[in-house]
Structure 1
Amino acid sequence: MDAEVSPKLFIGIDVHKRQWSVSIFTANCHPKTFSQVPNPKALKSYLDKFFPKHQIICCYEACKFGFWIYRELCSFGYEFLVINPADLPTTNKESSEKTDPLDSRKMAKALRAGLLRGIHVPTQETEGDRQLFRYRKRLWADLVRVKNRIKDKLLQNGIETPHKYDNPYWTKDFLDWLAVVELPSASSRLVMDLLLDQFEPAFR
């Protein structure tokens, strides 16, 4: 059968760590909704067996799993959309009865109706750059939180920071002082040591 006249298969995939919910629609019916292992090759094996010679059109919602699923399914020759979850048409009843199979069916139906537009999928290099930026931002936020906890620990125990450490703050000398400053109890000292253990790897 020529590619131009191959029947189309519209597939919505609700992806999760442990399993995927997959709904399959043809132009005229909804033959199947099922759960499968979270593996693109498993989906391809199923489609090759039960829907040979179909034109495959898939979608899933952008999520924490990134775009590796999109890239692998595209490598099989499938058309693919990664969609913004906010762009998926949803009725009030569907919102109150949210389930994975229902979500995959909504995606497949909207895909068949031509109601979905895909978001821009970055290259793997760009995606890696974004991950690096987010990691640095998260690491900096964690560092600020630890600094604030160390300062709070000094305030809670009525300990003033010597003026020579006012500026610049968080130098090696200041950290050495924190490591030996006398605290009112062994438990307080332990808390300070644990906080310094969190801070010092980032400082180095």
Structure 2
Amino acid sequence: MNKNSIVFIGLDTHKEFFEVAHELEGRDEHVIHDGRISSAKASVIKMVRDFQSKYPQATLHFVYEAGPCGYWIYRLLTSLGHCCYVVAPSLLPKKPGERVKTDRKDAMKLAHLLKINDVPIIYVPEAEDEAVRDLSRARQTATNDLNHARLQLKGFLLRNNIRYDGTANWSAKHIRWLNELILPHPAQHIVLQEMLHTIDERMRRLARLVNELEHQVKQWRYYPVVKAIQAMRGIRFLVAASLIAELGDLRRFDTPRKLMKYLGLTPKEESSGDHRRLGKITKCGNGRARRLLIEGAHAYKHPPKVSTEIQKRQEMLSKEVIDIAWQAQLRLCRRYQRLIHRGKHRNLVVTAIAREMIAYIWAISREIAIAPIDVAKRKSRVPA
């Protein structure tokens, strides 16, 4: 074996075990199935040491599919000083007529695809970035749970023909009205009180998560980016924090068009010869970030204006960032009205505005300096 040769190792990961296969560098080498190991951390470390002892002069390159097992395998292998890649399962090439799929074949396929450099590698966030993302997703889950409980209560009142005469639902006045309701049957009154108790608990839970998210994001290395993109209309703190938590470092995209494709905001295309046909957006990539952008795009239906709230958000920001945000307002508000006057459907218009919003957000992120990760500290940290 050459001194600088590479061993390509494919891992088919599961909760209880990993299937392992490897292939050596060279045209005449074939994939070798190494069997099954436990998914325990000690077993993974032993597997790495076995490969090191078997191929002492080779470089080990590992690959596995993204899935419910998360990124702890990637962080463990990189902390041991080896290269590891995480690939998107939906983007792996598949031969026509291939109908047999087993763990053994998947591991061997991954090792071979890594060797021929035909694996769609995905971005792996740092452990701290993933923790903020988990907190952001927990807040969104709490919001969904609260909305679901409120809908259940409204459905219960509708079945009993109980109507609220006020205008603002879930205001302080509305909550007092609900607590003062007296239903004809004791069993129904118990149901009402339980629903109100559930809503109150979920409101408190949401408030705790929002407060914790605000505290954690202010200590996060991406907080300067979160603060900067709030200069744009339709991007407040929760949207900005959730968006950056989902996307991570936007500077890894060379152009904004690549970021648009990553979010699935570009239209499908079926072109041949002189015929060019565009369809709906691809909807690939991160759906949570795409939803946040589409929600923020609704704000551009109004004329350009720097409100008092936006002025407060733009305090202590650089002139370059403020100029980009104002250019975004001028262009996107004008484009929104132009598309509406052309008779385009409102959903199509909002999606088009969201697609251009991410380009301005990308431009703002390029103006912000982000503290680098301490590589030595990261490699010395082994996940528990």
Tell me the TM-score normalised to structure 1 length. Answer: 0.81
Matched, 1:121 2:124: yes
- Indicate the RMSD between aligned Cα atoms, in angstroms: 2.6
18 and 199 in structure 1: CA distance in 2 versus 1, 3 angstrom threshold? farther
Quote how far apart the aligned CAs of 1:188 are. Answer: 3.5
Q: Residue in 2 aligned with 1:140?
A: 143
More contact order relative to length (CA 8 Å, sep ≥ 6): 1
Quote how far apart the aligned CAs of 1:81 are. Answer: 0.8
Q: Which runs of 5+ in 2 are unaligned?
A: 205-384
C-alpha separation in 2, matches of 1:186 and 1:91: 64
C-alpha separation in 2, matches of 1:37 and 1:194: 46
Q: Which secondary structure state, in structure 1, belongs to the residue aligned with residue 85 of structure 2?
A: strand
Q: Which runs of 5+ in 1 are unaligned?
A: none
C-alpha separation in 2, matches of 1:128 and 1:37: 26
Q: Residue in 2 aligned with 1:86?
A: 90
Whichever residue aligns with residue 12 of structure 1, its letter is G
Would you say the 8 A contact 2:92–2:120 is kept in 1?
no
From 6, 26, 34, the counterpart of 1:8: 6
158 and 129 in structure 1: CA distance in 2 versus 1, 3 angstrom threshold? same
Whichever residue aligns with residue 141 of structure 2, its letter is R
Q: Residue in 1 aligned with 2:32?
A: 31
Quote how far apart the aligned CAs of 1:6 are. Answer: 5.1
Q: C-alpha offsets along residues 46-68 of structure 1, whole Å, 9 cap, x if unaligned?
A: 34235511421101122233322
C-alpha separation in 1, matches of 2:36 and 2:178: 55
Quote how far apart the aligned CAs of 1:98 are. Answer: 2.7
Aligned pairs for 1:94-109 (under 5 A) are 94=98, 96-109=99-112
Tell me the TM-score normalised to structure 2 length. Answer: 0.46
Whichever residue aligns with residue 21 of structure 1, its letter is E
Would you say the 8 A contact 1:40–1:73 is kept in 2?
no
C-alpha separation in 2, matches of 1:171 and 1:105: 59
Q: Which secondary structure state, in structure 2, belongs to the residue aligned with residue 44 of structure 1?
A: helix
Quote how far apart the aligned CAs of 1:5 are. Answer: 0.7
Would you say the 8 A contact 2:7–2:22 is kept in 1?
yes
C-alpha separation in 1, matches of 2:65 and 2:200: 39
Aligned pairs for 1:1-204 (under 5 A) are 5=3, 7-27=5-25, 28-49=29-50, 51-52=52-53, 53=56, 54-94=58-98, 96-161=99-164, 163-164=165-166, 166-167=167-168, 169-172=169-172, 174-179=174-179, 181-204=181-204
Q: Identity of paired residues, percent?
A: 28
189 and 103 in structure 1: CA distance in 2 versus 1, 3 angstrom threshold? farther
Q: Which secondary structure state, in structure 1, belongs to the residue aligned with residue 139 of structure 2?
A: helix
